[in-house]
Amino acid sequence: MKKKKFKIEYPLSNASAAILWNSIGTVHGLSEWFADDVSADEDCFTFKWKGFEQKAIMLHSKPINYIRFQWEEDQGTEAYFEMKIVTSELSNDLVLFVIDYAEKSEIEDAILLWNQQIENLKRITGM
């Protein structure tokens, strides 16, 4: 079944671009909020959660801007997930955009999971 693309926007009013990048763009940062443990061998990242492991390839990265991964199971498809740091033109606050893909019936659950993960990120970084 083909996955559908969805986007979520998270305003982060007290955020620093450097701290946010450290949280989304480094193995250590991702280990603090996204997964229980993250390791990398060049562009191949391994994400671990309580007895479950998933590998992703980092497709693109631009420091203090965005990082894009593709799960190993999605190779050969257009599916990826991306976290992008943008400065709001209206408020000058930072916004974290998440782009992800899921099966149509799983999009709501995927959004709930991202919401929970971003709450962890905010709690850990004080944003």
b/e map of 37-70 (b: 16 or more CB within 10 Å)? ebeeeeeebbbeeeeeeeebbeeeeeeeebbbbb
Q: Is pLDDT above 80 for 17?
A: yes
- Chain segment 35-59, per-residue pLDDT in tens: 999 999 999 999 999 989 999 999 9
Domain count, the chain: 1
Rounded to whole angstroms, how far apart are CA atoms 10 and 13? 10
Confidence of residue 16 (pLDDT cuts 50, 70, 90): confident
The domain that contains 97 carries what CATH number? 3.30.530.20
Expressed as residue numbers, the domain containing 41 is 4-125
Rounded to two decimals, what is the model's pTM?
A: 0.91
- Chain segment 98-111, per-residue pLDDT in tens: 999 999 999 999 99
5 Cβ partners below 8 Å, 6+ apart? 78, 79, 99, 100, 101
